[in-house]
Structure 1
């Protein structure tokens, strides 16, 4: 169930409660939906009455003070929910976002989780910031893995250097393979990382620009964030497999 579906179901439950058409099971479902949405990256765009009403009893105390008229209550609820629908439908969060988030949530790194959440939020309204965060996500991913491998990467390595170190340790360097198809795919991964670094330097918000300003659109930001997220999942998944292999060797 995506955010729009959760929002619509929550609205329907509140409409039913406001007009005495609710069922006993609605309260439990509402609380679950509310918790899910509050834990999402876009919880700040939820209607304030959802944020403040922990259950349907609390919502009833709120809505009955607004009006005694069912029609007025329905109008009020629809009006309060509309900005949230506008936001979620505009953002159109893709299934890929959730796949990446699930992987990142497994990490012991609040910084990486926050970076991904911010990148998602800024894709539409702040493309430059989103592109910078996409590059930061890759950089943080590489450093996280190298730290766990206890490999020194110096004080200020660039993103290409970091990726070369990680790819070598995870056997992801094209030169470590003989099959042409793998060399081609892994070479493409290297190009993605290099491209994200170059894109951030060119149009991100980390550097000032000259007289001619190049401004990315939301579609450019979406591409950058999706590529960065996909690469982060690929690297973390590969590291997970290697980590398990290393643990088996040490247990022997």
Structure 2
């Protein structure tokens, strides 16, 4: 349940920022697409960082990793979340893995929100 909620937090954050900025997005947009669109709107893509900026390579790499976070949370939710029926006897993640997903998603949401609307 925590993993699904973490994914929904990022989706809600992105949709709120995009809506408040008047950016049209597909109702069927998945979380990686929403994050990518939001990052572009907020000038948070690697291309937005000038090469001359201090630690530009590091900042660009971190911004690129935003996509990996969202893809990972979405994949965990698909495999272990409550959104899909499970066969009896299927095992879930350990609490530490759910905490990792929640922590990564909440860090991303705060980062976007602080830059947002």
Per the alignment, residue 84 of structure 2 pairs with 207
Kindly indicate whether residue 27 of structure 2 is the aligned counterpart of residue 155 of structure 1.
yes
Between the aligned partners of 1:232 and 1:224, the Cα distance in structure 2 is 12
Q: What is the CA-CA distance between 1:227 and the residue it aligns to?
A: 1.3
Taking the TM superposition and a 5 Å limit, the aligned residue runs for 1:29-68 are none
Q: 1:167 aligns with which of 24, 30, 39?
A: 39
Q: Once the two structures are superposed, what CA deviation does each residue of 1:36-90 show, in whole Å capped at 9, x if it has no partner?
A: xxxxxxxxxxxxxxxxxxxxxxxxxxxxxxxxxxxxxxxxxxxxxxxxxxxxxxx
SS in 2 for 1:190: helix
Q: 2:73 aligns with which of 187, 196, 207?
A: 196
Between the aligned partners of 1:225 and 1:187, the Cα distance in structure 2 is 19
RMSD of the TM alignment (CA)?
1.6
User: Would you identify which runs of 4 or more consecutive aligned residues in structure 1 move more than 4 Å?
Assistant: none
Q: What is the CA-CA distance between 1:211 and the residue it aligns to?
A: 6.9
Per the alignment, residue 182 of structure 1 pairs with 59
Q: What is the CA-CA distance between 1:155 and the residue it aligns to?
A: 1.6
The structure that has the greater radius of gyration is 1
Taking the TM superposition and a 5 Å limit, the aligned residue runs for 1:121-136 are 129-136=1-8
What is the TM-score when the length of structure 2 is the normalising length? 0.87
Higher relative CO (Cα under 8 Å, sequence separation at least 6) belongs to: 2
What is the TM-score when the length of structure 1 is the normalising length? 0.42
More helix by share: 1
Q: What is the CA-CA distance between 1:168 and the residue it aligns to?
A: 0.3
Between the aligned partners of 1:190 and 1:150, the Cα distance in structure 2 is 22
Q: Which runs of 5+ in 1 are unaligned?
A: 1-128, 244-252
Q: Which runs of 5+ in 2 are unaligned?
A: none
